[in-house]
A and B are shown apart, each in its own frame.
Chain A
Amino acid sequence: MSESSYQPVKTIEEFQQQPAEYQEAVRKIVRSHSINELYGAQAFDEPAIALAPTPYAKWLTCRVAMEEYGHHVRFKELGEQIGMSESDLVPGGTKKPLSIFEFPLKTWPEFCVIKLLADLAEILQVEDLLHCTFHPLRNLARMTMPEERFHAQFGEDFCTDLVTTDEGRAAVQDGIDRYFPMLPPFFGRSKSPNNETFRRFGIKQRTNEDMRADYVVRARQLVEEKLGLVLPNLPAEAA
């Protein structure tokens, strides 16, 4: 938990009275979520509907995709309320997409692995906003959290089904081997000045390195204890 004693900012009007550094810090977080939610929906969730093998899987995937698009719309609305332009809140600006979105999705097991591991990472990021001093952002995080949990559970459930066959087990392990190493950088650099600012204002609670370490522990529990597979070791600098 953060030790910040920054006073809660309960409304958009109060936000406008905050120091420029606070406002810019919040905008960075909102921008990141708005863009990443849209990237995730476009790169993975919507294309995965075609990969899903049965109507049952397709409808669940539809639901995931619709919710991820919905998260983007909500973060974008919040961004606009705090003075950001649309171009700041959609992909295509100066910032490169995160490398996790460059994974070339081709199979259903790969998608299930993405939900299992990337949405776990997303849960940690959203968890860190649940006590955010900017209440409109805190409330949005609280609204999206149950849906993020459903998406990660979706990955866990379908991976659990897949690993019951040799072929499925090999496919899920292959997906984990290739996708997991892309995820730790999702938490940002260690000793990041941005993260220090976020914590000073109580916008976020934890350091990037703390969240990354927690993520690796939770991913290992899922992959090794629940699925009986192997989580690849990471290079020392990434772990």
Chain B
Amino acid sequence: MTATANELRFPGRRGVQHLLDRIPRESWFAAVGEPLTPSEQADAAAYLTALSLQNVQIAGVGDWPQAHQIVNDPAWDSRWWQVEEDERSVLKEALRDLLSEQALLASLTEVTETASAIVHGAAAIAAGRSGYADGGMTRAAAGAATQTCYLAALAALADSGPDHLFALRYSLFAAGRWPLGIVDGKLHIF
């Protein structure tokens, strides 16, 4: 890595290191298909609040075929994605003043490579346990989890705290879940 000494001492770097320590120990996809517990309902509600989306209910998803249908639904509510994209841009812009583009890229890559090495296998195991074999869905699941780690790393670098939208999203994945998106006014949690 080519971060300067100042960049290595950058406060957000501690948050990224914490994330790097956590990623291998999370329960990636371990609870997909299980009924949502009250605390998971509460976590999902906090995530929705952070998204500032009103009148959206929370729904559990019972199996991989249903999850496949939801993530491929052309009528999905893209506001959810747009809110996160807007926040991603805000964080990236804020970080641009604090560390070089190459240092930012190096930190994010460290996180995404760490995640990528773990989550694909975890998704494949979870799908295999259910007797579901669709390589595309496994890769999409891994993509979603890795993207979540990337977003959580951005929030960590910006020292945004545990109630940040991206930290809340990460906590859903850390509990073994996969938020699939909003369709028909419901946030579907696998």
Contact = CB atoms under 8 A, between A and B. Distances in A.
Interface of A: 50, 53-56, 58-63, 66-67, 69-70, 72-73, 76-77, 80, 86, 90, 150, 157
B140 interface: yes
Looking at chain B's contact residues, the main secondary structure is: helix
Contact of B136 (A60, A61, A66): A60
B160 to A, nearest CB: 20
A59 B144 contact: yes
A90 B103 CA distance: 13
Interface string B44-69: 00000000000000000000000010
B109 A59 contact: no
A54 B144 CA distance: 12
A55 B181 contact: yes
Contacts, number: 71
B71 A56 contact: yes
Contacts of B81: 55, 58
A70 B139 contact: no
Interface residues of B, number: 31
Given A66-B116, A73-B106, 12 more contacts: A54-B71, A54-B73, A55-B140, A55-B144, A55-B181, A56-B72, A63-B143, A66-B109, A66-B112, A67-B116, A69-B105, A69-B109
B85 interface: yes
A150 B112 contact: no
A66 B150 contact: yes
21 contacts: A50-B85, A53-B74, A54-B71, A54-B72, A54-B76, A55-B76, A55-B180, A56-B68, A56-B136, A58-B81, A61-B143, A62-B143, A62-B146, A63-B116, A66-B116, A66-B146, A66-B147, A73-B106, A73-B109, A90-B102, A150-B139
Contacts of A80: 2
Most buried by B among A55, A60, A61, A90: A55
B5 interface: no
A8 B181 CA distance: 51
B174 interface: no
A103 B157 CA distance: 33
